[in-house]
Structures are given as C-alpha cells and as structure tokens.
C-alpha cells in the first residue's frame, strides 16, 4: 500500500527540503536516489497528484463584463433617453446615443485579460521534456509527466522541470535570475544542509522549476511540481494580486454620480418652468428638455477619455513605451514611487570585467594589457575558462557562464585574439571547478613548456600561492602581502564586485598531468584580482535624477546580495544609506513595514512575496507605485502595482504579460519620458473635461435664466445639436493635442487621494460656464432690447455662444501660463477648430439656405458689435485668475 510521505512532497505541509540531507529527502519521498521510481509507482503518483503544470482558471465571460458596463448609472440614463427619442420619432438621435453606449461597452469588455496571459506565459517557461531515472534507466519524458520523487538528471543547457532537492552536483551552476534576480549563476552543492530560515537565493542544495543549468551536471529528487513549485507559487501570486483602481476611475465614479442627478434635474426643471412660467407649448418644451438632457448628460465623456488615453498610448509607443491598457496613460502622471528591480532593469544583465588589481594598483582592462602581470592575467582568464567562442569578426559571440564570457570579452577588447590564442595553445589536462577547491585549473603548453592556469575565489587561490607577480618577474609572497591581497579582495567585494583571483605556475613538465590536482595546484604565482560586475545601464543615473526632480522617489527591490545592491544603488543615485534584507521584512509586521518603506530605498535578498508586501505597503500609505522588472520573480509585483513596467527585449514572457507598460528599447530613461507624457495627458484630460463641462453649464445656465425671465429658450434644438458637436470637437480634438506647459516636470506628483473634480476644477467649470452663459444672455437680451425679433435674438445667442466658447477654450488651454505666453499656432488642431467654428457662424448667418435650416437670421452691425464684444471680454476673467493662482502657489511654496 502506498504511504502518505510519497504523496505530500508537492503539498503545502511538506518539509522544508533544503534543511534535510539528501538521504532524509529520499526517505521522505520513498524513493531510491540510484534507481529512481518504477514506472508503475510514477503512474500512480501522476494519477494521485496530477500533471506537472500550472493550473489554468476560467476567466469571467465577456458577456458579464459587458453587462457590468451597461448597468453603470450614466449608461442606464442614456438608454432611457434613447428610448424616449425613439418614442418621439427622433430616430437619428436615438441611434447616435445607442452607438455611443455600445462603443463604451465594447471598449471595457476587452480590458481585463492580463492574469490569464501571465499564467500562460509562466507555463511556457517549463521545459518540454525532462530526463529522469525510471526502473534504474535514464528515460526522457514530457515535463508534465514528472512526479514527486522522480530522480531528474540535469546538464548544461537544461531547464529544470520541477523543484528538486539535489543529491549530486559536479561543478553545477544554475542561472536563477528569473526567480531570485541573482545576476551570476549560483554554484550548487548537493551535500549541504541549509538552515530552514535561509533565503531562497541561499538554498544552494536546491534547483527550482524554470531555472536554467548554466554549467556542470547533477541530479536531484523532485520535491514539488506544478502550482507547488516556486514558479507555480509566483503564478498564484500573479493571479490573486489585486489590481487597484486608477485615480481617474475613482474621480469619474464620483463625477458620474454627481452629473446623473444634475442631468435629471435640469432636463425636468427647464421644461416645467418653461410651461409654467413662460407659457411655452408643452410639446416644444418636452423636445427642449430632451435636447438639454442629451447636451447635459456627458455621454461623450467616456469616448473623450478613450480618445485622450488612446492618443497618449500612441505617443508613448513613438517613444518605445508600449501601453497594454489605456488606463496606464492616465496613471503615469500620478506616479509618486518607482520600485525597480536591479538585474536587467537598472543593470545590463551581462557581467563585465570592470577593474583589475595588480600589485595593489587598480587598472582597467586597457591599462592591465600594458603591464606584464596584467597581460598574463588576461591570458590565464582565457585559458582557465569553459565558455565557448562562436562566429568570427564582427559576429564573434561568447557563450557560457556570464563570469567566464566577461573574461573573454575583456581579453578580446584589450587586443588579445581569443580564438587564435586558444588554437595556438594545447591543453593537456583540465581540473574543473569544485565546491571543495573553489577554483578551476588548466594545464597547457606554451613556448615549449607547460604552464598551469588557475582562477577561483581569492581565499582558495591565495592559500596555494607562494609568489606574487611584480613587473616582469615574481617575488616571494610573505604573510603581509597575502593579508594585503585578501584585504583588497574584501574591499572590492564590499563595493559589490564579484572578485576572482588569478594565478599561474610555469616551468612544469608534461609529466605533471600524472600528478594529483593538489600536487599540481601549489607554489603558484599570484597575478592579481579581477573585479566583475553587472554594470548599470548608462542612461539610468540621468533618468533617476530626472525622476527625483519631478518629486518621484526611486526604490531598488532586488533578490541580489546586499553588497551588490548597495554598490549599484550608489552608482545610479539611489539612496543606499540603509539596506533592508528579505529577512528583515519577514520579522516586520505591516506597521513596521510601512515605516521601513518610508525611510529605506534599497531592499536586497527579496522574494516575490517580499516584493508584493513592499508594493502593498507603499500603496496602502497612499503612494501610486510603478514597479519595473524583467524576471518571473517580478511578475506578481508588476501585476499588483498601479503600473507594472517590463523590459521588452530581455524581459521574460511572464514579466511582459503581467505588466501594463513594456519598454520596447529596455531603456530605463524611457520611464522618465513616459511619466512626462502621462503628466501631460492627465493635465490635458483635466483641461478638456473642465472646458467640456463649463460649456454644458453655460448651455443650461442661459436656458434656465431665459425661462425664469419668462422668455423662450435662447436656442432651437437643432442649434443645440450643432453647439454640442463643436463642444465635443473642442474637448476631444483640441485639448488632447495641447503641448506640455514648461514646468510640467517641476510639479510634484498628483496626490492619489486628490479628487479629479477638485476645487480648482469646479471653480473653472462654474465660473467658466457662468461667464459663457453671461455672454449668451447679454447678446440675447441686448438684441431684444434694441428691437430685434425673437429669431434675431436667438441668432445672436447662437453666434455669441459659438465665438465665446472658442475664446473660453483659448484661455483654458493652460493652467499656469498666460494666454500671450503660449504660441497661438503651437496647437494646430485648436487653430483649425477655432477657424471652423467662427466660419460656421459667418456662413450660416449669410447663406439663406443655412439660415433656414438652423433657424437663424441676419444681424445688424450693432448687433455684431455686441456679440463680439461680449464674447471677447467676458470670458477673459480667466487670465487674471490664473495670475492670482500662480501668485498664491508661489507664496505657499516659499512658506
């Protein structure tokens, strides 16, 4: 009978495998590390635990999302208005409203598909096949058929099919950058038992699903499959991560509730007062009421927002930032914190030899090539190296461990032809890197003699060195020299460099190949230290400075070593005065974590759970967070953040699918440009909505005032439709094309709890609307006072509104800059729209056919003076108001 332990390996109550010995793991799994499982037992376990895949969950049907869109308050009101228009026989207007309703619903239906794509991307990281031992024989099987307890064979180039507890490792190094963020492949040691509380990146007796074998070979017992693996756990975090509402979504929810009652109130109030006070015909007032309702209800507002954000998405794509969801274009302008990964985001994700230390002197590779000791170091780095060379000339490529390819690139760049060097030297014997020796050696012939080339950890190399290279020769190494070299190594490591010691032993004979490795690796000549680093991208420091000047804080959240994280942070300009480890976060409750994220900007040895906690702590404290990353380990945080930003070229599929914004050029500086564009878009949207609603206030104010004065409504329904058309075009075409104001990146980020309809915007809507309404009333009443008939008065009102709303729009183009400070032609769309509006007034009052269709008449010169004077003067209160607000803002800033 099968027992429990065989079936709990992939479940949440399983032991922490890295804390067990290989033998204890065998016992827990009920399997032999020599013969593996039998085919019969493997089949039983597959049936019991299921396949080794990430679970796929059904997404919400599209029709439910469509139903949610159609049941929003404004949409329901529009549906009711459309029904009434059908009832009255106004079919064209009814169909227009229904078209808007369906368009908005269609846009929303396709906006919530990211989680499924992210899970699918994570699934694709699994290897298609795996080699396991079944019945004592190596067998290749599909990855989905790997079960708990399987003995998996691992070799360079393989992708690990499941989480395994290693039972054997020979120079095994695993690239775990997609899981932990570690830049350099991790040396694995199967014979160790690791403390239970060890960080994920320190569990060197484990190999995790989805990671890549960079070098060496080994074998391990499967301890977790599918959703229970580390990558599966990350997939679960991606799926469950909640997606926050954007500030605009919150603001528009508030706006829609407010406008709903305003629309209902005025669409009923004006007709009732028209019948009761002014004695207007009931049918005419019903039509006026419906027309006012159509003009008051902001049915174009969702389309306006889509146009603004769609244009923003296009502008961002021109700057190599691909928007996966339109809401991102708005939220970018509110970002207050950028939490960035290190590897592949701030850094190039490629190791480089950045300095060489010879005789206590720090040199770059070019300088090192000029000295005898430095040249020998570069030569030894080429020989004691497992990386391969592919191509030739300009297509030369180095393949293998990042540290070793870095040594080859440095040698090639310094003038040493790597291919020719390797071909001219004959290798006699190789002694591979082992965890006991922590070094590798190669015995080779040169100039008729035999030389040993050695590279490895400084401690292991210095322990077998008796001489040190100085000038063109060697000098006996004493204890002081050895201590000095070790101190230099520690200093380099403290600066975040990966340090290798390089040595050689010349004058050997061919018979040396018959000696043991310990006999050969002695009496070495210490050549120097090589400092390697995954360097920052060149554009990063300037981009971070630009973000800081815009009031945006930058945090580094990485799985890498604290010393490396601190060093990179220093180089790119991130505050590294304090560094928090993942272990610190484990010991911190939510209150303590909130304090940490406020004062610490560098987080190291961070797991996906830690990243989620950091992002949540920031957002719970009121920050709008953008998370950048490129690895699988970044996917949950990318999903959780207000904006997830993934690298497009070198990022993993999981990161790209979980993100909202993808940097097609992998250029961190693109983030700064994206945030600037986002701020401009939000400002333009703010201006557009303010103008749009101010024009509606003017329309309602003029109509209501006329009715209260016992006069007919100043506009015919057909005129209101024309006015509505130009109002919509003004908001959706001219304002969205408005160039940025000069100080857009000097303003602090918009506070996330700041309402979209703030006091300043409400003042602009109310007073802007009242001033435009006053333009209409002055013209309407003035023409009647001068003896004009009702048709002439309505013509004056229509002309005044058309010219006045262009003047009001000109003033509203900027928040802080005066009208005369902005070029009239800087926004061509505004010029075309303004000319078209004024031209329509001139033509419609001049051509008899148009006059009849729009119920207009001609005006006298005095009437035109009145109309133009009111339209040009009354809305211009906006300029002194802008000046006053700017002065108040300056006083507030100085205090």
The alpha carbons of the chain give a radius of gyration, in whole angstroms, of 36
Q: Which residues pair with 388 in a beta bridge?
A: 399
- Which residue carries 């610190």 as its tokens? 584
Residue 334 to residue 679: CA distance in whole angstroms = 7
- Which residue carries 């008729």 as its tokens? 448
Sheet with 337-340: strands ordered across? 321-323, 661-663, 643-647, 625-629, 337-340, 553-557, 602-604, 579-581
Residue 5 to residue 144: CA distance in whole angstroms = 21
Taking alpha carbons only, the member of 659, 637, 639 closest to residue 647 is 659
269 three-state secondary structure? helix
Instruction: Quickly count helices (H) and strands (E) in the chain.
Output: 34, 26
296's CB contacts (< 8 A; 6+ apart) are 259, 262, 263, 266, 267, 696, 699, 700
Beta strand segments in 135-208, E: 137-142, 151-155, 163-175, 186-187, 206-207
- Which of the following is catalytic: 93, 175, 199, 341? 341
Residue 834 to residue 515: CA distance in whole angstroms = 92
Q: What are phi and psi of 574, to 5 degrees?
A: -95, 135
Helix (H) or strand (E) holding 355: strand 352-358
Tokens standing for residue 727: 């109002």
Residue 593 to residue 619: CA distance in whole angstroms = 12
Residue 152 to residue 234: CA distance in whole angstroms = 23
Q: What are phi and psi of 164, to 5 degrees?
A: -130, 145
On whether the CB atoms of residues 663 and 537 are closer than 8 A, the answer is no
- Which residue carries 């183009």 as its tokens? 813
Q: What are phi and psi of 215, to 5 degrees?
A: -160, 160
Q: Is the dihedral of CA 141, 143, 148, 149 positive or negative?
A: positive
On whether the CB atoms of residues 502 and 377 are closer than 8 A, the answer is yes
On whether the CB atoms of residues 715 and 703 are closer than 8 A, the answer is yes
Q: DSSP letter at 483?
A: H
Q: How far is CA 155 from CA 212, 214, 215, 217, in A?
A: 9, 8, 7, 4
Asked if 341 is an active-site residue, the reply is yes
249's CB contacts (< 8 A; 6+ apart) are 327
Beta strand segments in 388-438, E: 388-390, 397-399, 426-431
Helix (H) or strand (E) holding 330: helix 327-331
Q: Which residues pair with 164 in a beta bridge?
A: 207, 222
401 three-state secondary structure? coil
**Pairing outcome for strands 439-446 and 449-456:** antiparallel
Tokens standing for residue 648: 């497009």
307 Rama sector, left if φ>0, alpha if ψ -120 to 50, beta otherwise: alpha
Cβ count within 10 A of residue 128: 10
Residue 327 to residue 350: CA distance in whole angstroms = 34
788's CB contacts (< 8 A; 6+ apart) are 796, 859, 863
Q: How far is CA 411 from CA 380, 535, 827, in A?
A: 10, 18, 55
Q: What are phi and psi of 616, to 5 degrees?
A: -65, -40
Give the active site residues: 341
């Amino acid at each position: 009978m099968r027992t429990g332990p065989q079936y709990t390996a992939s479940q949440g109550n399983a032991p922490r495998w890295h804390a067990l010995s290989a033998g204890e793991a065998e016992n827990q799994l009920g399997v032999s590390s020599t013969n593996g499982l039998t085919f019969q037992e493997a089949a039983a376990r597959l049936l019991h635990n299921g396949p080794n895949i990430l679970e796929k969950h059904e997404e919400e049907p599209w029709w439910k999302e469509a139903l949610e869109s159609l049941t929003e308050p404004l949409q329901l009101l529009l549906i009711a208005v459309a029904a009434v228009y059908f009832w009255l026989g106004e079919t064209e207007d009814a169909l227009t409203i229904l078209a808007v309703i369906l368009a908005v619903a269609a846009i929303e239906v396709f906006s919530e598909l990211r989680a499924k794509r992210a899970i699918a991307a994570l699934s694709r990281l699994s290897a298609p096949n795996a080699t396991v031992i079944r019945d004592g024989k190596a067998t290749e099987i599909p990855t989905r058929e790997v079960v708990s307890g399987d003995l998996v064979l691992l070799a360079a180039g393989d992708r690990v099919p499941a989480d395994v507890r290693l039972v054997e490792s020979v120079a095994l190094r695993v690239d775990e950058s997609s899981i932990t963020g570690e830049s350099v492949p991790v040396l694995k040691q199967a014979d160790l038992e690791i403390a239970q509380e060890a960080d994920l990146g320190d569990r060197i007796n484990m190999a995790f699903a989805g990671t890549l074998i960079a070098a060496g070979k080994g074998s391990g017992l499967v301890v977790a499959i599918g959703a229970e693996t580390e990558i599966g756990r990350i997939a679960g975090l991606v799926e469950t991560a909640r997606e926050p509402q954007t500030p605009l979504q919150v603001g528009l929810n508030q706006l829609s509730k407010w406008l709903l009652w305003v629309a209902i109130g005025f669409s009923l109030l004006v007709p009732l007062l028209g019948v009761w006070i002014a004695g207007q015909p009931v049918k005419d007032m019903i039509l006026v009421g419906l027309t006012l309702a159509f003009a008051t209800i902001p049915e174009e507002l969702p389309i306006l927002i889509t146009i603004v954000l769609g244009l923003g998405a296009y502008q961002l794509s021109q700057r190599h930032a691909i928007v996966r969801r339109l809401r991102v274009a708005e939220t970018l302008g509110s970002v207050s914190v950028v939490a960035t990964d290190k590897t592949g985001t701030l850094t190039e994700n490629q190791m480089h030899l950045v300095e060489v230390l010879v005789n206590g002197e720090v040199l770059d590779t070019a300088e090192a090539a000029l000295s005898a000791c430095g040249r020998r170091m570069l030569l030894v780095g080429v020989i004691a190296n497992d990386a391969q060379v592919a191509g030739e000339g300009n297509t030369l490529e180095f393949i293998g461990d990042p540290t070793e390819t870095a040594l080859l690139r440095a040698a090639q760049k310094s003038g040493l032809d790597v291919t020719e060097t390797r071909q001219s030297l004959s290798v006699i014997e190789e002694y591979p890197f082992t965890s006991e020796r922590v070094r590798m050696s190669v015995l080779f012939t040169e100039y008729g003699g035999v030389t040993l080339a050695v590279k490895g950890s400084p401690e292991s190399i210095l322990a077998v060195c008796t001489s040190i290279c100085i000038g063109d020769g060697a000098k006996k190494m004493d204890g002081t020299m050895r201590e000095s070299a070790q101190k230099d190594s520690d200093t380099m490591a403290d600066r975040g460099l990966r340090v290798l010691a390089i040595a050689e032993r010349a004058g050997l004979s061919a018979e040396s190949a018959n000696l043991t490795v310990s006999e050969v690796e002695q009496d070495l000549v210490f050549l120097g230290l090589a400092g390697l680093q995954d360097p920052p991208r060149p554009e990063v420091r300037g981009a971070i400075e630009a973000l800081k000047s815009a009031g945006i804080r930058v945090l580094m959240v990485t799985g890498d070593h604290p010393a490396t994280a601190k060093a990179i942070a220093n180089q790119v300009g991130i505050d590294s005065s304090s560094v928090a480890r993942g272990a610190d976060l484990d010991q911190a409750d939510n209150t303590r974590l909130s304090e940490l994220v406020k004062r610490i900007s560098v987080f190291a040895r961070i797991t996906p759970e830690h990243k989620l906690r950091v992002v949540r702590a920031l957002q719970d404290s009121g920050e709008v967070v953008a998370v950048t990353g490129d690895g699988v380990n970044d996917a949950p945080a990318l999903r959780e953040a207000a904006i997830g930003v993934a690298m497009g070229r070198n990022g993993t599929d999981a990161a790209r699918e979980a993100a909202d914004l993808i940097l097609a050029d992998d250029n961190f500086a693109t983030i700064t440009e994206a945030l600037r564009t986002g701020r401009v878009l939000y400002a333009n949207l703010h201006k557009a909505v303010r103008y749009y609603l101010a024009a509606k206030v003017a329309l309602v104010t003029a109509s209501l005032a006329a009715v209260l004065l016992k006069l007919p409504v100043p506009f015919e329904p057909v005129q209101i439709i024309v006015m509505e058309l130009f109002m919509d075009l003004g908001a959706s075409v001219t304002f969205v094309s408005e160039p940025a104001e000069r100080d857009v990146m000097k303003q602090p980020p918009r506070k996330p709890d700041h309402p979209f309809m703030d006091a300043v915007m409400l003042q602009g809507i109310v007073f802007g609307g009242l001033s435009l309404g006053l333009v209409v009333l002055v013209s309407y009443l003035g023409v009647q006072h001068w003896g004009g008939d009702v048709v002439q008065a309505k013509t004056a009102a229509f002309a005044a509104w058309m010219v006045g709303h262009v003047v009001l729009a000109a003033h509203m183009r900027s928040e802080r800059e005066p009208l005369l400070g902005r070029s009239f032609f800087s926004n061509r769309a505004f010029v075309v729209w303004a000319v078209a509006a004024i031209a329509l007034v001139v033509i419609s009052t001049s051509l008899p056919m148009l006059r009849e269709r729009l119920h207009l008449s001609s005006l006298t010169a005095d009437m035109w003076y009145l109309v133009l004077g009111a339209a040009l003067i009354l809305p211009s209160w906006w300029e002194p108001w802008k000046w006053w607000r700017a002065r108040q803002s300056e006083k507030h800033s100085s205090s």
